[in-house]
């Protein structure tokens, strides 16, 4: 009877003592869900769950504080308490893990596997991304702890990726609503230099057939009709205006600038690509983008149209550049 009473007292002591721990000689493994009651939660407390299969060197509950030391590959903690909006794991004063308790009793946070002691806390924080460092002009963030900009405020766009992503101004401060344009329009630079939705224009082009001379009905080399073909060239079709001997024409009747898409831009890119020093990328897409602007700038400096990248007109094809293109590449 004495031994039975002593055993009951020992069990009772384990249940009521404020400090509970599992450690040391044998690593801890949860064979079923274990409830850790009374974990400090602001001015109240909440029940936490160590999920079945969790392993660690030890875990400790002391005066409302819940921690685990040297967690295994899957030490998972949840809470069936709906007042707990997220579960946070910290070490050395820094929050390392945050998991939203979207489904109480099922949602969980997984502790890091690096050696150390981690404090597990219930939190009223509904969105873990609120723990991310605030970035200017950022509308939303990547999941914690990666953070970094996921989307931006109007007039800004994401630059970079992951933790290093930030929001930078769209040229001209254009609203992001304009990035999605109505059918028949695209986002680009308008003639006044601003950025907006501009019409997608089909550019009529004339393809001269090789082997055709004035008065010929058929090509002397291919036998094809010399009647000539005129077609409407959408901006995404690869085709260019040529000369009678098959070369790309260097005659431009209008100025070209950043943001344009046309057959003229495609011809410009073809001409520039013939000089690897000027346009090593050699991309012929019909879109006047940063690479084309850079190549035009190199051409201008090489042939004395401008002095430097800071000169007025650098990177744009104006009257002087058009004239120089004709001189360098011929008709």
pLDDT tens readout for residues 52-69: 999 999 999 988 899 999
205 lies in the same domain as 245 = yes
174 falls within a domain: no
144 lies in the same domain as 118 = no
Checking if the pLDDT of 330 tops 60, the result is: yes
Which structure tokens are listed for 37? 């009651």
What pLDDT, on the 0 to 100 scale, is given for residue 217? 55
Which structure tokens are listed for 46? 């909440």
Checking if the pLDDT of 134 tops 90, the result is: yes
51 lies in the same domain as 140 = no
30 falls within a domain: yes
273 lies in the same domain as 291 = yes
Q: Rounded CA gap, 151 and 54, in Å? A: 36
Question: For the whole model, what pTM was predicted?
Answer: 0.46
DSSP string, 264-317: HHHHHHHHHHT-TTT-TT----SB--HHHHHHHHHHHHHTTS-SSTTSTTTTSB
What pLDDT, on the 0 to 100 scale, is given for residue 49? 94
Least confident interval from 22-26, 158-162, 286-290, 295-299: 22-26
Band of pLDDT at residue 74, cut at 50, 70 and 90 = confident
The pLDDT tens digits of the residues spanning 262-285 come to: 888 999 999 999 999 999 998 988
190 falls within a domain: no
Could you give phi then psi for residue 300, rounded to 5 degrees?
Answer: -60, -45
54 falls within a domain: yes
The single residue listed with the structure tokens 């790309």 is 248
Which residue in 297, 295, 298 sits closest to 283, CA to CA? Answer: 295
178 falls within a domain: no
State what percent of residues in the chain have pLDDT above 90.
Answer: 39
State what percent of residues in the chain have pLDDT above 70.
Answer: 70
20 lies in the same domain as 116 = yes
Checking if the pLDDT of 107 tops 90, the result is: yes
User: Which one of 114, 129, 144 terminates a domain?
Assistant: 129
Are the C-beta atoms of 230 and 241 separated by less than 8 Å?
A: no
291 lies in the same domain as 302 = yes
Q: What is the CATH number of the domain that holds 303?
A: 1.10.101.10
60 lies in the same domain as 158 = no
Checking if the pLDDT of 51 tops 90, the result is: yes
DSSP string, 138-163: EEEEPSTTT-SEEEE-TTEEEES-GG
DSSP state of 324: H
Average pLDDT, the chain: 78
Domain that holds residue 125: 2-129
43 lies in the same domain as 119 = yes
222 lies in the same domain as 321 = yes
Higher per-residue pLDDT: 325 or 237: 325
55 lies in the same domain as 96 = yes
Are the C-beta atoms of 99 and 90 separated by less than 8 Å?
A: no
Q: How many domains does the chain have?
A: 3
232 lies in the same domain as 322 = yes
Band of pLDDT at residue 181, cut at 50, 70 and 90 = low
325 lies in the same domain as 211 = yes
Checking if the pLDDT of 244 tops 60, the result is: no
């Amino acid at each position: 009877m004495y031994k039975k009473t002593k055993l009951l007292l020992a069990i009772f002591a384990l249940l009521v003592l404020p400090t509970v721990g599992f450690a040391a000689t044998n690593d801890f493994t949860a064979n079923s869900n274990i409830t850790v009651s009374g974990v400090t939660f602001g001015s109240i407390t909440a029940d936490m769950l160590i999920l079945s299969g969790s392993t660690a060197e030890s875990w400790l509950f002391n005066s409302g504080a819940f921690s685990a030391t040297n967690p295994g590959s899957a030490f998972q903690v949840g809470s069936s308490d709906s007042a707990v909006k997220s579960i946070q794991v910290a070490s050395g004063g820094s929050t390392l893990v945050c998991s939203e308790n979207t489904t109480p009793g099922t949602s969980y946070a997984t502790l890091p596997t690096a050696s150390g002691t981690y404090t597990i806390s219930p939190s009223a924080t509904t969105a873990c991304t609120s723990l991310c460092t605030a970035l200017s002009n950022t509308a939303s963030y990547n999941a914690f702890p990666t953070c970094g900009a996921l989307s931006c405020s109007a007039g800004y766009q994401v630059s970079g990726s992951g933790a290093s992503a930030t929001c930078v101004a769209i040229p001209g401060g254009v609203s992001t609503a304009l990035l999605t344009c109505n059918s028949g329009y695209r986002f680009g630079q308008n003639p006044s230099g601003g950025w907006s939705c501009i019409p997608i224009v089909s550019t009529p082009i004339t393809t001269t057939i090789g082997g055709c001379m004035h008065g010929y009905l058929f090509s002397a080399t291919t036998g094809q009709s010399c009647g000539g073909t005129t077609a409407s060239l959408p901006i995404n079709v690869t085709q260019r205006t040529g000369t009678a001997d098959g070369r790309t024409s260097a005659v431009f009747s209008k100025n070209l600038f950043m943001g344009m898409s046309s057959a003229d831009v495609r011809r410009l890119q073809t001409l520039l690509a013939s000089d690897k020093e000027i346009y090593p990328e050699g991309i012929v897409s019909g879109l006047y983008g940063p690479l084309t602007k850079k190549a035009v700038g190199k051409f201008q400096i090489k042939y004395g149209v401008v002095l430097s990248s800071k000169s007025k007109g650098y990177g744009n094809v104006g009257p002087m550049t058009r004239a120089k293109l004709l001189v360098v590449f011929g008709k």
